Amino acid sequence: MKEFPVQRAAVLKEKPDPATLVFGKTFTDHMFVMDYTAGQGWHDGRIVPYGPIELEPSAMVFHYAQEVFEGLKAYRAPDGGVQLFRPTENVKRINSSCERMCIPPLPEEDALAAIEQLVRVEADWVPSAPGTSLYIRPFIIATTPSLGVHAAHNYIFCIITCPVGAYYAEGINPVKIYVESEDVRAVKGGTGYTKCGGNYAASIRAGERAEENGYAQVLWLDGVHRKYIEEVGSMNVMFQIGDTVVTPMLTGSVLPGITRKSCIELMQSWGLKVEERLITAQELFDAGKDGSLKEAWGTGTAAVISPIGEMGWEDKHVVVNGGKIGPLAQRLYDTLTGIQWGTQPDPHNWVVKL
Ligand SMILES: *Cc1c(COP(=O)(O)O)cnc(C)c1O
């Protein structure tokens, strides 16, 4: 596998106490950087000390948001080793995002080698307290200094990493979510299936409104009919209705989550019935009312599984499983985290040991 040159930081930072870590605020000593120049392709991949990037104010990313990113984690296994969870899926997904945003794709092997080598360089930063991990944030930005609306000719692929504390330090408490009827996150034909910053910018207002009203997350409806459930906050969403698990199908405005895919594969291997299809908010709230809605949860790399305890929609209100985590969400959480942290067997070969 490719080895990139490493320029070591002269002074290493002090490692933080994992008990007080706030997500995404502490960064490690090094980062990976690779340049793209039209005509030359991706070149000069390197690991350098973490620090500011100098860009012209006219760099295209600042104006037209030509940008994509990824999110994955490195985990400390009981034997002291460090491991990744399905990193090839992240590499494929960043390239799918690139294709939509007219960003030249990364050579897959180089992108994977970059993630692996950076985590090896920063291995001391992978915390070992239960539930903690090293969050990895690869991203690409358009750097060409130009105000013309075109694809840029220059890009930077960068990877930064940050140690993160246990998501559920205080136990798994189900969240309250609110169906957003006004703002939409994405529409078919847009960029909903990509991880691009613009999707997040468009989602902030609804998130703030939900928080002001005492809800933790937004339940997003599709942008065309304002009828079908798409995602919850920045997670995919699943519901157990009767003995079937239903999750929104990937229509183009839903992000193809790796946790979503892993949950579907696990549940199918357990012999459960899983349907990827359209689900209306009406169907969901009807199921809540007649008692057939057994469980609801979000899925994503940060929380793994985030149970939903209450749902609001206009004047309607539903409590799910008495506001507590249900047995299926708990089983998915235990199995996935067991595989990720290496405390359980990995029958699907999802883990990459470094
Ligand atoms: C990243 C993301 C997810 C979850 O994807 P994972 O690969 O499971 O982390 C879901 N929805 C949105 C909008 C996302 O950006």
- Strand 154-164 and strand 30-37: the pairing is antiparallel
Task: Evaluate whether residue 351 is within a structural domain.
Answer: no
Any idea which residue has 């950076």 for tokens?
Answer: 118
Q: For residue 185, which atom of ligand 1 is closest to its CA?
A: 13
pLDDT of 20 higher than 90: no
Estimate the crossing angle of helix 87-100 against helix 108-121, to 10 degrees: 130
Amino acid at site 108: E
Separation CA 73–CA 89 (nearest Å) = 13
Task: Evaluate whether residue 6 is within a structural domain.
Answer: no
Separation CA 199–CA 185 (nearest Å) = 6
pLDDT of residue 248: 98
Residues 111 and 188 in one domain: no
What is the enclosing helix (H) or strand (E) of 128? Answer: none
Separation CA 152–CA 155 (nearest Å) = 7
Half-sphere exposure (Cβ direction) of 179: Cα atoms closer than 13 Å: 22
pLDDT of 1 higher than 80: no
What CATH number is given to the structural domain containing 147?
Answer: 3.30.470.10
Residue span of the structural domain in which 50 resides: 18-164
Q: For residue 262, which atom of ligand 1 is closest to its CA?
A: 8
The preferred substitution site among 84, 96, 180, 234 for testing ligand 1, maximizing ligand atoms within 8 Å of CB, is 234
Domains in the chain, number: 2
Nearest Cα residue to atom 13 of ligand 1? 234
Separation CA 312–CA 296 (nearest Å) = 13
| Gap from CA of 298 to ligand 1 centroid (Å) | 10
Structure tokens at 131: 């539930």
| Gap from CA of 296 to ligand 1 centroid (Å) | 17
Residues 150 and 182 in one domain: no
| Gap from CA of 248 to ligand 1 centroid (Å) | 13
Residues 190 and 304 in one domain: yes
| Gap from CA of 89 to ligand 1 centroid (Å) | 12
Task: Evaluate whether residue 243 is within a structural domain.
Answer: yes
| Gap from CA of 188 to ligand 1 centroid (Å) | 17
Q: For residue 90, which atom of ligand 1 is closest to its CA?
A: 7
Q: Write the pLDDT tens digit of every residue in 165-222.
A: 888 877 888 999 999 999 999 999 999 999 999 999 999 999 999 999 999 999 999 9
Structure tokens at 28: 């490690």
Are 310 and 176 contacting, i.e. CB atoms less than 8 angstroms apart? yes
Give the pLDDT band (50/70/90) at residue 228.
very high
Give the chain's mean pLDDT. 96
The preferred substitution site among 255, 260, 262, 265 for testing ligand 1, maximizing ligand atoms within 8 Å of CB, is 255
Q: For residue 261, which atom of ligand 1 is closest to its CA?
A: 8
pLDDT of residue 262: 98
Q: For residue 203, which atom of ligand 1 is closest to its CA?
A: 13
Write the CB contacts of 58 (distance below 8 Å, at least 6 apart in sequence). Answer: 145, 146, 147
pLDDT of residue 317: 95
Q: 36: closest CA among 150, 152, 132?
A: 152
- The angle at the Cα of 158, spanning 114 to 252, to the nearest 5 degrees, equals 95
Nearest Cα residue to atom 5 of ligand 1? 257
| Gap from CA of 333 to ligand 1 centroid (Å) | 16
Residues 244 and 102 in one domain: no
Question: Where does ligand 1 bind, in terms of residues with CB under 6 Å?
Answer: 71, 195, 231, 234-236, 255, 257-260, 299-301
Q: Write the pLDDT tens digit of every residue in 132-169.
A: 999 999 999 999 999 999 999 999 999 999 999 888 87
Any idea which residue has 């703030």 for tokens?
Answer: 208
Which of 101, 136, 164 marks a domain boundary?
164
Structure tokens at 82: 């460090």
Nearest Cα residue to atom 12 of ligand 1? 234
- Number of Cβ atoms within 10 Å of the Cβ of 242: 12
pLDDT of residue 136: 98
Task: Evaluate whether residue 44 is within a structural domain.
Answer: yes
| Gap from CA of 140 to ligand 1 centroid (Å) | 17
Phi, psi of 187 (to 5 degrees): -130, 155
Task: Evaluate whether residue 185 is within a structural domain.
Answer: yes
| Gap from CA of 256 to ligand 1 centroid (Å) | 7
Which of 164, 185, 211 marks a domain boundary?
164
Phi, psi of 212 (to 5 degrees): -60, -30
Residues 156 and 223 in one domain: no
Task: Evaluate whether residue 347 is within a structural domain.
Answer: no
pLDDT of residue 21: 84
